[in-house]
Structure 1
């Protein structure tokens, strides 16, 4: 071997060792969310029948949610949080806003821009078998001043002024007897101010773990029929035991426990995470 080749070989060796020590290669992954009514896509401008205990009819009005800490899990249990793309609109830090309404039909509060995915990078592996994510904001970030926060926290539809903080999930539908039938998930029993801080009776933190999830081939189904399975969407509140149609995370709301069970929560202020049933969340 010539002196030149020997010199080149010695120069390349440290570079190759450095490349081997740089760790795993990164890949961009897209976690897709699919709102559905059973096997039918949920969309603005479409009526859905046979919903809930009264087998009622609903139309979508609004559906948005915050998700965070989206994590891919390998077969060996190794966990890799997605480093989210910082797109300035839908994703910031480890938080993403999902928006399923396009402003058509009854979805008058929506706009043409929809977002049904979370995009970020993680080490490239072909044995990811599960997905984990959390809903909403953690307590330490929940009570920010929404109007001055950057996207995606600047969405006024997700501010919860009377509770303080943000709605983690906002799902409004119209039934034949209720102009609006609400489901708003968020921290409840909150008192305080942005300046002085808040305390809440129930933080309502939800962690979702879905097994059998391959980010290259699977989607997260959000099944509205499952969520409403124990609820009467045509029931008119009596104004005594129930002041409004649906649930706004109140501990004394008779419909909240029927919703919360699908998130592994209780509606009690002393409640906490429980087993998550495969009714609202599932893998497709």
Structure 2
């Protein structure tokens, strides 16, 4: 009876605590729940010598992780989330986080337990300068930021890599994204990013470095953020643009200064006239 129940769960695509359920690629989205953490091991049915060992390592730690786990063998779906197989991706709700590291159970477990929340920060015009302090290079550290449009297939595919970089470099580099077409338009304009253009910039100590977006794998992105940015095109971070309110305040302040100077001149002239009459 227990065997029949197990087979039933497997056929429905329900992950057992100590095993991986093979899931068709087109079924993956329907198995990602908003409030759940889901592990997916992307593999190949043949031509991958390390895939079976990686699956065994993951199975060995599944009972302690309390997550649903699936194995997917679909090249098209794999390419959306990973650069090679085997690849482990943790979905926190629908946010994919790509793992990079040794194919060992203990490393898998540490990855899951330390990344239960997505680490990529969504920035907009109101929060960008406040959180990054890009123009001053002050206390918030280095930032790797992707600017993206609304309809950008490459940006969607890059999400798992960005989340992977944020997980791998946690406490070293902050990772963020900005929508260039919606609430991040002015910030994108400030850095010369076109609304529909996907651009990755690295901010460090008042300097902005431009990443070569022809290489969007997790390894290349991480290496850029920890050192290779030094070889990239760079420029000082542009000053914050003046808002209408700031311009108006500057005009008022200028008028006040001029009025004060005129008052001083008039006062001096009156004092001089009074002294002249006294003689």
Shorter-chain TM band? under 0.3
TM-score, length-scaled by structure 1: 0.25
Q: Which has the higher strand share?
A: 1
Q: Which has the higher helix share?
A: 2
Q: Which has the higher contact order (CA 8 A, sep 6+)?
A: 1
Largest Rg, 1 or 2:
2
